[in-house]
Amino acid sequence: MKEDNNQIEILIDHEIFPRLLGVGDINLRLIEDNFESQLTARDGRILIKGNRKESEPIRKVFHDLEALFRSRSNVSTDDVKTVLRLVGAGAQDPQQNNGESEGVVITIETPRVVINSKSALQARYVSLMEKMSITFSIGPAGTGKTYLAVAMAIDRFQRRLIDKIILVRPVVETGETLGFLPGDILEKVDPYFRPLYDALDEMLTREQVRRYIDRGLIEIAPLAYMRGRTLNKAFVILDEAQNTTSGQMKMFLTRLGVGSMAVLTGDLTQIDLDDPEKSGLKEAKELLNGIKGIGFIDFTDKDVVRHKLVADILRAYNNTREKV
């Protein structure tokens, strides 16, 4: 990237340049619409005029698109939108919409069922996942945190906006270690991932689930197996995120690559770590709230959509804790 007093210049490989811009420069215009700066394409160069603070995120957008093109020989407008989300361009937090989701029902279609949001907060949650690169969903069991995240992952996979779905959980052991349990790694972690399997079985046929897992299009992995990886064009769900440590949370969040998005679900009242104060989810909520491109949504027992007794039970336990 070159710069002078009036403009900043990004150099792009001449062979890639016209195809990266899209037909009629549609990709260039889409990028420009998300920034205040004026962008001009000329002879393998992108000229940036305007807000100098935008030069680095704009450079990163073109760098990521160039890398994506080299891996797949194609860049679509959906790819451009995804890369823009990753740098936080044009991202808005639906939680700041002054209640515009009230009364709105959002539908997600999967091969076996059509899923409708059951509350304004669920609609806001789905909207958040559509707009943000990273979404934190925090609240008690029965609020649809994991179920809607899996539905969104399948929706994105069906529309070919992602190449694979990765389901991740921290394995917090209670007595038996994975090394002592029989079977391969999938058989060992199977009990921990049962809620995710249940959601998959509702939305896909058993044959589809088995075929996608065999082909690596759906991946089931303990959190420890994420270390050292870069996850490109994937929808990654980290379930039970309250049981991550600070180091594990940081490691997971820095795995995301080009075209990927992540949803992290957890319940801060159900931390199984030896020291609940060291929960990576609790720390992330304090450190990352307010960062552009990262969204948070908080459910309470009032948002439980399972049997009415579930909400009553949660409320009773919460009231007991408050009295202690």
SS3 86: helix
Contact 278, 250 (CB under 8 A): no
pLDDT of residue 19: 85
DSSP 3-state percent helix, strand, coil across the chain (nearest 5): 45, 20, 35
Strands (E), the chain: 2-3, 8-11, 38-42, 45-49, 107-109, 114-116, 134-138, 164-169, 218-222, 234-238, 261-266, 294-298
The residue length of the chain stands at 324
Mean pLDDT to the nearest integer, 103-126:
85
Mean pLDDT to the nearest integer, 222-230:
89
Choose the weakest-confidence range: 178-192, 200-214, 290-304.
178-192
For helices 77-86 and 55-72, what crossing angle results, to 10°?
A: 140
pLDDT of residue 94: 43
Q: How many CB atoms lie under 10 A from the CB of residue 169?
A: 22
pLDDT digits (tens, 9 = 90+) for 240-297: 999 999 999 999 999 999 889 999 999 999 998 989 999 999 999 999 998 989 999 9
241: Cβ–Cβ under 8 A, 6 or more apart, which residues? Answer: 136, 170, 249, 264, 265, 266, 280, 281, 284
In terms of Cα–Cα distance, which of 76, 235, 77, 215 is closest to 151?
235
pLDDT digits (tens, 9 = 90+) for 159-173: 888 999 999 998 765
Q: How far apart are CA 287 and CA 179, in angstroms?
A: 34
H-run or E-run covering 260: none
Complete DSSP assignment for 261-310: EEEEEE-TT---SSSGGGBHHHHHHHHHTT-TTEEEEE--GGG--S-HHH
Q: How far apart are CA 297 and CA 138, in angstroms?
A: 6
pLDDT digits (tens, 9 = 90+) for 191-205: 668 788 889 999 999
For the chain, helix (H) and strand (E) counts, in that order, are 12, 12
Tell which wins on pLDDT, 79 or 44. 44
Dmax over CA atoms of the chain, in Å, equals: 70
Contact 124, 95 (CB under 8 A): yes
Give Cα separations from 149 to 50, 163, 264 (angstroms). Answer: 38, 16, 9
